[in-house]
Amino acid sequence: MGWLLGRRSRSKRSRSSRKNDRSFSTSIPLLRWLGPSFTFSGIVGLLFMVVTGRIDLSVFDQWMGNGENPIGELIADSGQPQRSRIEPVALQMDNRSRETIRIATFNIQFFGPSKVSNPQIMQSIARIVSQFDVVAIQEIRNGQVSPIGELVSLLRASGASYSSSVSESIGEGDRYKEAYAFVYDQSRIAMIPGSAYVVQDPDELMSREPMVASFETRTGSPDGRPPFRFTLINVHTSPSEVAENAIINEMNVLDDVFTSVRNYEYGMTGEEDFILLGDLNVDTAGLRELGQIPSVFSIAGDAMTNTRRTKTYDHILIDRNMTTEFTGRYGILDLQNTFGISEEEALKISDHFPVWAEFTIYEAPRLTPQVPPIATRNQTRDQASGTRY
Amino acid sequence: MSSNQKAAWAQTLSQNQQTVGSPGDHGGLGNLKPETVIETLQQVSNSDSVTGMTVRIVELAGNSNDEIRMWAAEALERAIQPSADEISSLIKVLEENEEGEVRYWAATMLGRLGGAAAQAGQALSDCLDKSLHLPARERSAWALCQIGEAAAVAKDSLSKAAEDAPPRLKRLATEALKRIGEAA
């Protein structure tokens, strides 16, 4: 089967990124107000947004307020990767470790105009995202208003310094397209310029091709220790295409995406740390060939990640031999307990919980040869179609 | 899901609905409020398995309201389990409704029924041949593949698609032909 994945649509992406950056920065005069150049247009912009309801000032009370940890207690902490048992641990919103970062994946179901127009939901989403240094987001429905632009705007209005990279809309048909995004805290993470792209798929093997981008930590280390640099592969599979009766199961495609991106990035930049994360719509048994890449595993395993706590959909996968920056801490952010709300109310935010994992901010010394492992799995026979890939 | 709950959803979604497949009606709402329909679809999509509402929700997948259409698709993707007694209605929708997304979901539901939906072979073959909506054609090929041997009536359409179609459709048609051939 022909494979051309892993090639960058760099020019298209960089145009798109520039466009996003431009439209974001020009549509949010509030940023000027927050900056050192305190300008008249910034004040006018702020007043306009308050008057039109784009900013709910009560959000400041929640952000600046009482020092309570809004995330609560249902965060898993485990020193044993691959265990699905979730132990509670509290995260401190204003007291992030200087030695570690948290990377998360969050499917914000139908993240489009309807949610953007609901301040309570947007504030909840902003509070969730603010717990993490980088969040891979799925199910963004771009329209006249950019949901990610609005989210980043809200985060920045709080004094945080998040930024984003958003893909073009991807998917079957005209109406079911959705975009990916990476939202990251610029004070702790830098995105490698020009590194974001959507994987090309000329053979149409996937219904939504993954988005890739590379980042590195801002360590501020005086001793010159190298920052943790990593590449994220943001994925949202189609449930139909990972089901038992799929003709070409996307999980048998994603292993090739992972290795293609890894080989390409390693060849281009020497990158060694690859993290595939997103809504895969399967539990670990359903990972198929993706789960057979040597030493690659799902950090949260079979933890329930849907809001009803009945299914495993979302994963963060790393190569345990290469990405030794993983500290062993990971979790599922339970929206109900985090916000003290009912399941019905939590479902209004999303039908998925965010999944996160913690990594050191410094590149770990390599104990193994400086060559990424090449997948040497045997060809396996797809159960449903009997087709060899 | 209790039977009472299901009955309530069905009643909400079918209130004063238009005739199935009537011209120009893609999941018409009659006098229903869109927000009521959306809320019901959200409840359905958040359930584990819902039966007996397939045809109405397939129709709603063609509604002109973006949010209704999206939630209908979510319900069909996540929760709806078609049953054998809905096959003839699904075939009728597939034949008479020209909306691409409605056909896409009708074909998908028929495919989920596998060999039990053998009588849908001709309608799926026609959709594969004639629909202008590529995803609907792809799902028709996929459904024919799921039906297998009993879909032999679609061999010509599948052969044509296997020779000359976009990559995904070509692959699905080729696989369907293999299944039909292997089973024969």
pLDDT tens-digit series, residues B132-146: 999 999 999 999 999
Q: Do B104 and A310 touch (CB under 8 A)?
A: no
Contacts of B74 in chain A (CB under 8 A): 109-110
Tens of pLDDT, residue by residue over B23-74, are 444 456 667 788 899 999 999 998 888 999 999 999 999 998 888 999 999 9
pLDDT at B3 over 60: yes
pLDDT at A220 (0 to 100): 81
How close, in Å, is residue A162 to chain B by CA atoms? Answer: 29
The pLDDT, as a whole number, for residue B31 is: 72
CATH domain B87-184 topology: Leucine-rich Repeat Variant (1.25.10)
Residue B115 to residues A45, B34, B144, B150: CA-CA distances in angstroms? 62, 36, 9, 7
Q: How big is chain A by its Cα radius of gyration, in Å?
A: 20
**How much is the pLDDT for B13?**
78
Pick from B69, B78, B111: which is nearest to A239 by CB?
A: B78
Spans of all domains in chain A: 10-360
Looking at residue A46, its pLDDT comes to: 53
Number of cross-chain residue pairs from A and B with Cβ atoms under 8 Å apart: 52
> Can you tell me the distance from the alpha carbon of A190 to that of A361, in angstroms, rounded to the nearest whole number?
12
What was the pLDDT predicted at A174? 65
Query: For residue B32, what pLDDT is reported?
Result: 79
Give me the pLDDT at residue B173, please: 97
By CA distance, what is B142's nearest residue in A?
Answer: A247
The SS3 call for residue B81 is strand
Q: Is the CB of B46 less than 8 angstroms away from the CB of A351?
A: yes
Residues of A in contact with B162 (CB under 8 A): none
Q: Where are the domains of chain B?
A: 1-81, 87-184
Residue A73 has what pLDDT? 32
The pLDDT tens digits for B96-135 are: 999 999 999 999 999 999 999 999 999 999 999 999 999 9
Contact B145 A247 (CB under 8 A): yes
Q: Do A202 and B167 touch (CB under 8 A)?
A: yes
Give A247→chain B minimum CA distance, Å: 7
Structure tokens at A141: 């429905």
In chain B, residues with a C-beta closer than 8 Å to the C-beta of A141 are 70
Say whether the ipTM exceeds 0.90: no
Q: What is the mean pLDDT of each run of 10 residues along chain A (389 residues)?
A: 39 33 30 37 53 46 35 36 32 69 97 91 92 97 89 90 96 82 97 96 94 95 89 96 92 97 94 97 97 97 96 97 96 93 94 97 76 41 28
3-state secondary structure of B51: strand
Query: From the CA of B167, how many Å to the nearest CA of chain A?
Result: 5
pLDDT of residue A36: 41
C-beta atoms of B100 and A173 within 8 A: yes
Residues of B with CB under 8 A from a CB of A: 42, 45-46, 48, 66-67, 69-71, 73-74, 77-78, 100-101, 104, 108, 111-112, 114, 133-135, 138, 142, 145-146, 166-168, 171-172, 175
Give me the pLDDT at residue A389, please.
Answer: 21
Instruction: For A352, name the nearest residue in chain B, comparing CA atoms only.
Output: B46
Inter-chain touch A204–B168, beta carbons under 8 Å: yes
Interchain CB distance below 8 Å, B133 and A173: yes
Nearest chain B residue to A176 by CA distance is B70
Q: Do the chains contact at B77 and A240, CB–CB below 8 Å?
A: yes
| Chain A interface test: which of B50, B70, B131, B180 (most A C-beta within 10 Å) | B70
pLDDT number for residue A385 = 30
Q: Could you tell me whether strands B50-51 and B80-81 are parallel, antiparallel, or unpaired per DSSP bridges?
A: parallel
Residues of A with CB under 8 A from a CB of B: 109-110, 114, 141, 172-173, 175-176, 202-205, 239-240, 245, 247-248, 308, 310, 347, 351, 385, 387
Q: Tell me what pLDDT residue B47 has.
A: 86
**What was the pLDDT predicted at A377?**
39
**Nearest CB neighbour to A203, from listed B45, B138, B167:** B167
The predicted structure's pLDDT at residue A62: 37
- State the architecture of A10-360 in CATH terms: 4-Layer Sandwich (3.60)
Residue numbers in A near B166 (CB within 8 A): 204
pLDDT at B27: 56
Residues of A in contact with B100 (CB under 8 A): 173
